[in-house]
Amino acid sequence: IFKFFHSSSPSSSQQHSASTSGAGTQRWKDYDSPEEFNFARDVLDYWAQMEEEGKRGPGPALWWVNSQGDEIKWSFRELRDLTRRTANVFEQTCGLKQGDRLALILPRVPEWWLVTVGCFRTGIVFMPGTTQLKAKDILYRLQTSQAKAIVTTGSLVPEVDSVASECPTLKTKLVVSDHSHEGWLNFRSLIKSVPPDHTCVKSKMKDPMAIFFTSGTTGFPKMAKHNQGLAFRSCVPSCRKLLNLKTSDILWCMSDPGWILATVGAMIEPWASGATIFIHHLPQFDPKVIVEVLFKYPITQCLAAPAVYRMILQQKITNLRFPSLEHCTTGGESLLPEEYKQWEQRTGILIHEIYGQSETGISCAVSREMKVKRGSIGKAILPFDIQIIDEKGNILPPNTEGYLGIRIKPTRPLGLFVEYENSPEKTAEVECGDFYNSGDRATVDEDGYFWFLGRSDDVINASGYRIGPTEVENALAEHPAVAESAVVSSPDLNRGEVVKAFVVLTPEFLLHNQEQLTKDLQQHVKSVTAPYKYPRKVEFVAELPKTVTGKIKRKELRLKEYSQRR
Ligand code: BCO
């Protein structure tokens, strides 16, 4: 890919127009809902044309680097051509068509952006997943979504091949790799051989665009299905105010491409404004690398999980005054007021918080020009009407704890998920009167600022990951040492919350060394399911607290964890 798509610095003859502030997206108003919308055609191709007319600055659309010194810079024009080729690979080579589902499991490589935009162009529904997924996780996703295609990286080929025969709908396997893999089409080779002309599909706003798998208290992850409204929403003025991006801005969103935060923060948001997306490959999280990168490149904005800021602060680095950084945003879990203060003192920059879920995209935020109230997730972003509600959907007054709800009646706002696919009962469960009930507890103050308090259910929010306890309990149950287990959230200084497993041992393992057993169980969970879910804390107990009907009382265990000091 480096040879074919060489790094393209902007031509010096290109007109350096003054940086524009989301000019291309002022075509729409907050409550607009055009019948047709396609992010590739209506936004990316617009910016490509602005480049052709010399009306956009010289910054690339995508600026990708890795630790080996490789670099790719693509303008919107190059991106347009490459993603048209991608669309042709999907349609002509693979025979995929509008509405087909494509599982997208790639690390932070430039092809992730080609594939997602290729999906926009063809109307294929993309389903991002983290590369931490294991064979069983992938099997579940392919089967439940009836995926026709998967695009993944070389290291995951064996995991996919071990389950592919159990997925009758899967017709296309595309690998992003410099090597050939038997039974797989090679994306990097194919994209060179297809023509660069493609006509973008005329997608309706209500056509599905993406599916995000999201964990719940029980069972397997649910499929939160979004239509084109998720992308359109970022183009309206209220959403543009969130980061106030200009075409000259360079935004680094560090989220793994498997999460909705990357789809929104590392693609839709910046490109809606014609800004530059900066990506560092970051195969392994290292706060020192992040600091180096922020000193080396002219990044003006960054968006990262609270744990990232926290872990940077914990490094013994004397200078955190980054030369170009102007604005920092965080989301996914909470940051402590003390951490906000320290970041501000050491960098001179305030952290602005956002709030959202796979179901909602970014729904609340402390927008760039808003006053920061440390610890608040900010105000609702139009067209969402957010209220604090009780379990019947009644609106509660300010400073009263309740559920964070988004109004869905009489009109379901664009940008909110459409449904949990194949699960009308789970979709109905989160509908509460006129509202979607997020399941998150919160309050709102007199100024309209929301304050996140925590989950109302057993879902664990560790380092910004939403983890369903049963997914971890099921993984533990496969180990011979585990008679039964209960998995709950436990407070942690570094990660906000971590996964803790209470384990009842089988008789044969009762006398085993518990330190070793803890390591074995952790390793086991990492090997059978995505490793971010592994229990960082394990406690062996003689029995688990249960109700008279035999249901494990996770809440009791969780409350015990939180009643002890962090
Ligand atoms: O900590 P350990 O070393 O014991 O374990 C780590 C990894 O080393 C390990 N691992 C990863 N890949 C593996 C593997 N082990 C075996 N095989 C593999 N292939 O598993 C553990 C993974 O934990 P982690 O991901 O938390 O790792 P790390 O490196 O500590 O990363 C820290 C963070 C902060 C970078 C990471 O936790 C993170 O990215 N968190 C943010 C998640 C996020 O973006 N959430 C947003 C969701 S979307 C949303 O909220 C909606 C907003 C609109």
Alpha carbons 478 and 20: distance in angstroms, whole number: 56
Q: Is the CB of 537 under 6 A from ligand 1?
A: no
Centre of ligand 1 from the C-alpha of residue 308, in Å: 11
- Residue among 526, 534, 538 whose CB has most ligand 1 atoms within 8 A, to mutate: 526
In this predicted model, what pLDDT tens digit does every residue of 321-341 receive, in sequence order? 999 999 999 998 878 888 899
Nearest ligand 1 atom to alpha carbon 261:
48
Compute how many other C-beta atoms are within 10 angstroms of the C-beta atom of residue 154: 15
Nearest ligand 1 atom to alpha carbon 332:
50
- Comparing CA positions, the residue from 89, 78, 110, 416 lying closest to residue 102 is 89
Nearest ligand 1 atom to alpha carbon 357:
51
Q: Is the CB of 253 under 6 A from ligand 1?
A: no
Please tell me the residue having the least CA distance from ligand 1 atom 38. 463
pTM beyond 0.95, yes or no:
no
Q: Are 353 and 337 in contact (CB under 8 A)?
A: no
Nearest ligand 1 atom to alpha carbon 265:
53
- Comparing CA positions, the residue from 81, 79, 129 lying closest to residue 101 is 129
In this predicted model, what pLDDT tens digit does every residue of 168-187 receive, in sequence order? 999 999 999 999 999 999 99
Q: Is 67 exposed, middle or buried (0-12, 13-18, 19+ CB in 10 A)?
A: middle
- Residue among 532, 533, 534, 537 whose CB has most ligand 1 atoms within 8 A, to mutate: 532
- Residue among 131, 459, 465, 521 whose CB has most ligand 1 atoms within 8 A, to mutate: 465
pLDDT of residue 21: 54
Which residues, in sequence order, are bridge partners of residue 499?
489
Alpha carbons 210 and 125: distance in angstroms, whole number: 5
Q: Is the CB of 536 under 6 A from ligand 1?
A: no
Alpha carbons 325 and 294: distance in angstroms, whole number: 7
- The sign one gets for the Cα dihedral 450, 453, 459, 463 is positive
Please tell me the residue having the least CA distance from ligand 1 atom 29. 285
Torsion (CA) 26, 30, 33, 39 in degrees, nearest 10: 50
pLDDT < 50 positions in the chain: 1-18, 23, 566
Q: Are 72 and 110 in contact (CB under 8 A)?
A: yes
Alpha carbons 501 and 561: distance in angstroms, whole number: 11
Centre of ligand 1 from the C-alpha of residue 260, in Å: 15
The region that residue 441 occupies, defined by phi over 0 for left and psi between -120 and 50 for alpha, beta otherwise, is beta
Q: Is the CB of 503 under 6 A from ligand 1?
A: no
- The sign one gets for the Cα dihedral 289, 294, 297, 299 is positive
Q: Are 347 and 373 in contact (CB under 8 A)?
A: no
pLDDT of residue 20: 58
- Could you tell me how many helices (H) and strands (E) the chain has, helices first? 18, 27
